[in-house]
Amino acid sequence: MRILVSNDDGVFSPGLHALADAVAGFATEVIVVAPEADRSGASNSLTLDRPLYVRPSVRPHTHFVNGTPTDCVHVAVTGFLDWRPDLVVSGINKGQNLAEDTLYSGTVAAAMEGFLLGIPAIAFSLSAHNFSRLDTATHVVQRVISGVVHAPPSKHYLLNVNIPSVPLGELQGYEVTRLGRRHEAQPVIRTHSPRGEPMYWVGPPGEIRDATPGTDFHAIAQNRVSITPLRVDLGSASEMDSLAQWLQRLP
């Protein structure tokens, strides 16, 4: 098993190093290729307006890229590595990636890029905005990786794993979940620059709308590890019939 590790919090994140260390025992080769800076919220963006560089970090087997999480995995798999990873893992993110967060998440995007390139992939996120429970997360990563090494869940999978930030003894098990739903995002926060020019900070995500049993929100609230199988198809097959009828009525 050869594993590519990336994240969106950047090459200096303790979560990244914890993930690389956690998977090392399962792999003949582990390489880390991560953004040089925090690119949380970068989603699936690619850098097209300048060249990308892959430079070695002070940590062994670790490189950083002047780009996004998607750039990192794309460049690593299609150009930088002279071998093909068997698995792409991303994280461990500082903060959960639940429901619509998955659309904006660079952590999920790095995994998704591997998946789009034909490689099974797993994104790991810790539910708190700190790493005080990185030990719990490391334990979960090792159990999940041990599971996929022993018997993959399917031939080609993209998993979004969220880990409650609690002591290991308080973990209430694992649950396969669907994505919950949020209400629409909070508005941007308008303020002024020191020169009086209006400026805007993107506000918090929307309040939780669907956290019913079976959702990722619900599992995390119950201190269970949430494992959501993701797919990439944004198309809405259920809308096709009504849209076709609408098309026939076009003036």
Hey, which residues between 188 and 247 contact Mn ion (CB under 5 A)? none
Contact region with Mn ion (CB under 5 A), list: 2-10, 133-141, 158-166, 189-197? 2-10
Instruction: Give the residue with the Cβ less far from Mn ion, 27 or 110.
Output: 110
- Specify the DSSP class assigned to residue 59: S
Site string for Mn ion, 133-162 (x = CB under 5 A): ------------------------------
Nearest distance from C-beta of residue 93 to Mn ion, angstroms? 4
Strands in 148-235 per DSSP E = 158-163, 174-176, 181-182, 189-192, 198-201, 208-210, 225-229
Do 14 and 36 meet the contact criterion of CB atoms below 8 Å apart? no
Nearest distance from C-beta of residue 71 to Mn ion, angstroms? 15
The DSSP bridge pattern shows strands 2-6 and 62-65 to be unpaired
Nearest distance from C-beta of residue 194 to Mn ion, angstroms? 28
Hey, which residues between 86 and 105 contact Mn ion (CB under 5 A)? 93
Where does 117-206 have alpha helices with state H? 134-150
Distance CA 165, CA 136 (A): 7
Q: Which of 174, 118, 120 is nearest to 152 (CA)?
A: 120
Q: Which of 5, 10, 40, 99 binds Mn ion (CB under 5 A)?
A: 40
Nearest distance from C-beta of residue 118 to Mn ion, angstroms? 25
Size of the site for Mn ion (CB under 5 A): 4
Nearest distance from C-beta of residue 38 to Mn ion, angstroms? 7
Helix (H) / strand (E) containing 230? none
Q: What is the dihedral of CA 35, 40, 42, 44, to 10 degrees?
A: 80
Instruction: Give the residue with the Cβ less far from Mn ion, 27 or 90.
Output: 90
> Which residues, 6+ apart, have CB-to-CB distance to 110 below 8 Å?
6, 7, 8, 69, 70, 72, 73, 88, 90, 123
Nearest distance from C-beta of residue 243 to Mn ion, angstroms? 36
Residue with tokens 């430079």: 55
Nearest distance from C-beta of residue 8 to Mn ion, angstroms? 4
Contact region with Mn ion (CB under 5 A), list: 33-41, 78-86, 216-224, 241-249? 33-41
Judged by CB under 5 A, does residue 9 bind Mn ion? yes
Residue 176: both structure tokens together: 């396969």
Instruction: Give the residue with the Cβ less far from Mn ion, 9 or 100.
Output: 9
Instruction: Give the residue with the Cβ less far from Mn ion, 9 or 113.
Output: 9
Minimal CB distance to Mn ion: which residue?
40
Residue numbers at the binding site for Mn ion (CB under 5 A): 8-9, 40, 93
